[in-house]
Structure 1
Amino acid sequence: MADPDTRSPLLKALPPETDYITYLTIIEYNLTQENLPILHQVLQDETLAVNIGWDLVHLLVPFLPESHQCLQDISRLGNPREVILKVTESLRLIEYEALDEDEDLDRSVDALLEGASASRAMAEASTYPARTAATSMSGDTAGGSQMTEVPPPLPLAIEQFIALLSMLATLHPRIKTEYPSRFLSTTLQAILASFSNAVSHRDEMVLAIIKTIKSISGVQRPMLPSRKSSGMMSTIEKAKAQSASDGDSTATADLAPEEKAMQQRLLQSFVTHVIEEYLLNLPPETEDVPGMAWCSRVMEKSQPERTIPGSKSMADRFQSEESLHSRVDVVGQLASLAHDLKLGDEALLAAIIAVEKVPVEGGQDEDDPPESAKDIPLSRAGSMLLLAARQVSTVLYHASSKASSAAAGEPDFDIFPDHQELLRHCLSSPAHGTGTLGTEPEALIDATLALGLICLENNAIGQPASDEQFNEYLQVVALLSSNCPSPSLRGHAHYLASTILRSQPNDKARLAFIRDTLEHCPFENLKVSAVGWIKGETIEANPRTPVAGHHSHSSDHDNSSIFATSLALDSLAPYLFPSLETDLLRSPIPAAWQTFQLNVSFYLASLNLLYLLLCAKHLHLNLEVADMWKDNDVAASFLQPLRDASKRFGRALGAGGELAEEKTDGVVAELGLLDETVGRVTGAVRFLNE
């Protein structure tokens, strides 16, 4: 009986029985999953692979993962220049929007039902561990092996991305030309564009990208192992069979130094763009986990006493929660790859603060290959994220952040001017007039603040060039503490701003910033912070019992701190205890209620400060509290309007009142707290007369 394979049209029509164009048409009309092994067999003919291989790519991609071997045949034996063009074209055409839960479920069920088929087993052998793979424990003895757990199949679009990258890993080393960077540039753009369109399984995609770049660049370092349950598996293997040479090769010698530099810079730039795309588009967590939560993890490591007892730390979450641990795996792999590509901290810093070039009209088209390595920019945000990853590793893992090739020449990094420059270029500085500070991707804000926190831990404050520079830095960080949607990032920004403010040796400069915040800042929570700052300054400058050898922050130790005199309190009183009659009592109820809701936290903070000033008798003389109380008419303009406004709102919140729909348990509790606090302050006034 004749072999059934001999009756296959793919064998009967083999050239020279037909010409290559006709044979390609026959393949297109007869290609099925069942005859993929036959196509794999015929593609071992190098001449055939060269003539039709590149036209088969788009036909085989829909049959993945079963067509993986055929695609590898084409990448090994086909014309590398033509095949690369088809592969990059196919990358851009992957339809990720087709990914949905139903499709994933259907593919998982199909995979289980077809697990026994030879074609599926052969395809998976090149991608996943075998479902029945045994781990030897005691030779061939009974019970001496255990089954390995196999992750579920990936969606088709992700299979296509990984398989096409596997082809590129084989194709690029085959190309021998004077300017291989031109092919590399096109390839990297296609990979990044395809990756940017994906909405799921991005961790697996990044690991496939890293494997491909290592293969292209010749990096020998093995990839770090990832956790079994993460679903990250080795998906790109070097072809075991010998690859054909580049038949169109025109290269006769080693590449010129300029070309080598161009390729390295392309790869360095690509890594920064990948980490930007990955971290700035992370799926949202149910709880407050901004990006890599570097700020929280650094603070937990360096100041464990600030961690709430009994609560689960962010470090524990990143260790135990699979999705978060996967982020650590991926970012660690990217950071390691950047190190292998000799991307140093100095180059990252230069990219972060670089001034963007405005394209010249009629100049080079963006699709044209770069003319030199210096024309290839690194991603600004990606450079920031990569720099933060390196610096954070020095705290979390006691690792070196320096690239080995440039460790001796890396500059120091201080709050002033280095961190300030990063804030100015990576975030929407108020100086730019955008008004969007704090709305940037949380991963970027987290990375930026983490670098500032590390500076604090290293006592690397530096020296601001002027009071204006100092104030500008504090304004940006303080606004972050007000505008960030993430509660944890707001807290870290507040800590950074408060600590930097306290580092200013000039007490008058500190007072000026606090006053400017109280007078001009429109954000109520930032004004609350300013009240906290003045309270801290007042307590420190006026100890109940003078400490021997105690000095204030003042740079002039011959004079006491301005916060130990009445000058600070007198200058701040109009903003700490403003007249509220017009806003809360004379305005229509809806407008007054809105003003109250926006500022109630500030009112309560000021009341608590006032209570401290009244009760701490040792402050009365130095700060002239009684004069401040009378001169600013605090009782009539601040306390009484709050008392009357509470009654006014209470009536309006009742049945049939103008604010009846606003009434909640929280609102009632808030008014009760205000009444209680006003009462305590009123009761403490008697201390002024004792």
Structure 2
Amino acid sequence: MADPAKAIEAIREARPPATDRFTYLTIVEANLSPEVLPTLNEVLQDASLTQEIGWDLVFNLVNLPGSEACLETIARLGNPREVILKVLETLELLEEQEGYDADVEDEADNKATQTVSADKKFIALMGMLAILHKRIKTKYPSRFLAQSLQTVYGAYVPNEERTAAVINLVYSLSKQKRPPLPSRKSSVNVANPDLEGDASKNAPDPEADAAEKVDEKEEQLQQRLLLSFATCVLEGYANGNDMAWAARLVEFLNPYKIVTGRKTLMAKFREDKGLAARDDIVGKLVALIEDLGLESCTKGFVNHLTEGPLHSEPLTGAEDLSSPNEIALSTGGCVCLLAYWVFSLTVFDARHPQPNLHIFPEHYAMLDKLLQDDAHTQIQKSTGTVEALVAIGLWLHSNNLISSEKATPISKPVTSVDDPTSDYMRYIHLVTLIALFHPQIHVRNAASTLAGVVLHSDPSDEDRLRVLYDLLENCTFASLKARAVAWLREEIIARSKEETQSAFNTPQALETVQYVVFPNLDFLEETSSTVEVAEYLAGNAAFHMQAVNFGLFLWGEKESKETEANKGWAHVLPDNMEATVRGRWFDPLLAAVDRVLKREGEEKEEIELGPVEGAELRLLRLRMEDLDGAGGFTVKK
């Protein structure tokens, strides 16, 4: 590195006209270091010089610590068109530059580069764009803005610092109704040189067309672009950060189910500064979106979510659009906005629009729209959007918004288990896909909760029976089959209080599903490989555990069956069900569990049970022992 004193002298003495601008630019680049930045900023106060060389310094300066003042000067005095292009180019190189920085980590000559994080570079560039776009005077500024927003979103990483920076950018460029909301103590704040600096220092656009004035339509285009961008950012942030909207709604709506002594997600988001910052950032994004014009849940907004096409990259090609109505909003971002509205209405008692929609047909249409093509991939890549869908469904059910009068779900009497499915079955199928494939366990649990409550809301007991049979017969996931058994039990309990006969307070339900709840397991005794038996049990332990619990529920202890506290369930049991269940399911299952736990079998290879699988099988064995003497079941201890 050159001596700082000599570098400062060179930058001062070589200023044009002492050298031409190309030579001077070379001298400046050769002598750049944090120490020379104050001197360079003085030199850059010459607007004519900065218009000639400023844009060429952006990439090198953004990598130097302490260069914010120089970058702001370039943004205020440089040619805005040229500087914007350089800023966008630098944004596109951010990811590549991060990789370069990692490779040269141990090189002494690159220490200055290492001290500037990618987030700080991004923040500095956002501050420049806010100033630059205000300086451009052209007939079609929306074309510049569309290109910038696309590039910004391509470089966006959904953390608090970058999100705060893009919020600042949009507030600066929008016709906002109010200043940014004050921050909570947990919030992350980033500099906004456009609002904090002196706009009177801005140089005029040297390429401005004085004869042209931006018309109202052009301003509408810019506002719509900013709104579209903000919905994209909201979707990106929700997908990149666990917001726990659905799980917190479950806790809020069902406080009696909270395990005593366990810290709730509600408490964690209140007390943890990092989690509180997420709520704060999303709150600011939503306020920004509302200020940009999306402040009510109109019929058109609902139609966008239910009937319109799926827009995942609405900014692509936006620079060629001539009407604000042609600029789409992010579908996922709008879903997240809707989820935040209903979540904050409920949990924070906030003032947000109360949507006029129902589970049928609107929420069902949203689920179908987002999950109809390759649900597994959609759930994995859009975790926040999918959780938002679950949160909306939970809120709708909690407010008894099941079906609109104009859209009563299909619900036909069951004549066979192969009858065409109802809207309820298709809806529950989509929700259970979330319960299976979402990476966050609390979202899977919330989705299971939603599927269960919607199932119980189906007005047709025949339809509910069809749904349960379908899950138990065709689902290959033990955890979901276990939930179906739990829902069956809930149905029997709930309908037992009804005076009108139904499938669930008569033997009809169990006559239909007993062979899928308690399937024939004779094949386990016929399987010679103990390893194969162990694999089957490990994969289906959750389902069989729930079936054992269901057996205890149905038969219980003989002496307590007719007590006032437990009148028993004899009225829902088909004739001779105990004996047939014991023969086809209980005895083979018990024998298989004992065989695996004792490492018995014809094969000599050792069975490697993991700690979880082993614990599950031992617990299953203990629960089967609890059936000793209940309903004729006998277990040898």
State TM-score, norm by structure 1. Answer: 0.78
8 A Cα contact 1:584 1:645, kept in partner:
yes
Partners in 2 of 1:110 and 1:435 — Cα distance?
44
| Structural mapping, 1:95-114, within 5 Å | 95-97=97-99
Query: Is the partner of 1:662 in helix, strand or coil?
Result: coil
Matched residue, 1:288:
none
Identity %: 33
- 2:132 maps to 1:171: yes
Matched residue, 1:115:
none
Matched residue, 1:482:
436
1:482 CA drift (Å): 3.3
| Structural mapping, 1:10-29, within 5 Å | 10-29=11-30
8 A Cα contact 2:8 2:39, kept in partner:
no
1:623 CA drift (Å): 3.1
Q: Residues 161 and 604 from structure 1, CA distance in 2 versus in 1: closer, same or farther, beyond 3 angstroms?
A: closer
Matched residue, 1:146:
none
Matched residue, 2:523:
582
Partners in 2 of 1:372 and 1:647 — Cα distance?
72
How many correspondences in the alignment?
A: 598
Matched residue, 1:643:
590
| Structural mapping, 1:543-558, within 5 Å | 550-551=498-499
Q: Residues 305 and 236 from structure 1, CA distance in 2 versus in 1: closer, same or farther, beyond 3 angstroms?
A: farther
Matched residue, 1:533:
487
State the Cα deviation string for residues 11-38 of structure 1 (Å, max 9, x = none): 4343344433343333333444333333
Partners in 2 of 1:535 and 1:527 — Cα distance?
13
1:264 CA drift (Å): 1.1
Matched residue, 2:347:
396
Partners in 2 of 1:269 and 1:592 — Cα distance?
55
State the Cα deviation string for residues 90-110 of structure 1 (Å, max 9, x = none): 222222335669969x99x99
Structure 1 alignment gaps of length 5 or more: 112-152, 283-290, 403-409, 544-549, 552-558
Matched residue, 2:552:
611
8 A Cα contact 2:246 2:390, kept in partner:
yes
Matched residue, 2:368:
424
Matched residue, 2:160:
203
Partners in 1 of 2:193 and 2:270 — Cα distance?
27
8 A Cα contact 2:227 2:292, kept in partner:
yes
Partners in 2 of 1:476 and 1:576 — Cα distance?
22
1:263 CA drift (Å): 0.7
Structure 2 alignment gaps of length 5 or more: 412-421
Matched residue, 1:330:
281
Q: Residues 19 and 571 from structure 1, CA distance in 2 versus in 1: closer, same or farther, beyond 3 angstroms?
A: same
| Structural mapping, 1:173-572, within 5 Å | 173-196=134-157, 202-219=159-176, 221-227=178-184, 232-238=189-195, 239-240=197-198, 241-252=200-211, 254-282=213-241, 291-344=242-295, 345-346=297-298, 349-353=302-306, 354-356=308-310, 366=317, 369-402=320-353, 412-426=356-370, 428-429=371-372, 432=373, 435-436=376-377, 439-463=380-404, 464-467=408-411, 468-542=422-496, 550-551=498-499, 559-572=500-513
Partners in 1 of 2:249 and 2:589 — Cα distance?
42
Query: Is the partner of 2:338 in helix, strand or coil?
Result: helix
Partners in 1 of 2:148 and 2:598 — Cα distance?
70
Partners in 2 of 1:394 and 1:64 — Cα distance?
43
8 A Cα contact 2:364 2:427, kept in partner:
yes
8 A Cα contact 2:119 2:162, kept in partner:
yes
8 A Cα contact 2:41 2:70, kept in partner:
yes
1:499 CA drift (Å): 0.9
State the Cα deviation string for residues 508-563 of structure 1 (Å, max 9, x = none): 111111111111111111111121122222233335xxxxxx54xxxxxxx41122
Give the AA of the match of 1:375. Answer: E
Give the AA of the match of 1:213. Answer: V
- 2:575 maps to 1:626: yes
- 2:553 maps to 1:592: no
8 A Cα contact 1:6 1:12, kept in partner:
no
1:55 CA drift (Å): 2.6
Q: Residues 253 and 293 from structure 1, CA distance in 2 versus in 1: closer, same or farther, beyond 3 angstroms?
A: same
Q: Residues 456 and 518 from structure 1, CA distance in 2 versus in 1: closer, same or farther, beyond 3 angstroms?
A: same
8 A Cα contact 2:510 2:572, kept in partner:
yes
Pick which of 518-527 and 462-471 moved more: 462-471
1:669 CA drift (Å): 4.8
Partners in 1 of 2:442 and 2:205 — Cα distance?
55
Give the AA of the match of 1:456. Answer: H
8 A Cα contact 1:414 1:455, kept in partner:
yes
Matched residue, 1:60:
61
Q: Residues 539 and 437 from structure 1, CA distance in 2 versus in 1: closer, same or farther, beyond 3 angstroms?
A: farther
Q: Residues 158 and 670 from structure 1, CA distance in 2 versus in 1: closer, same or farther, beyond 3 angstroms?
A: closer
- 2:74 maps to 1:74: yes
Q: Residues 56 and 539 from structure 1, CA distance in 2 versus in 1: closer, same or farther, beyond 3 angstroms?
A: closer
Q: Residues 561 and 9 from structure 1, CA distance in 2 versus in 1: closer, same or farther, beyond 3 angstroms?
A: same
8 A Cα contact 2:146 2:225, kept in partner:
yes
8 A Cα contact 1:40 1:70, kept in partner:
yes
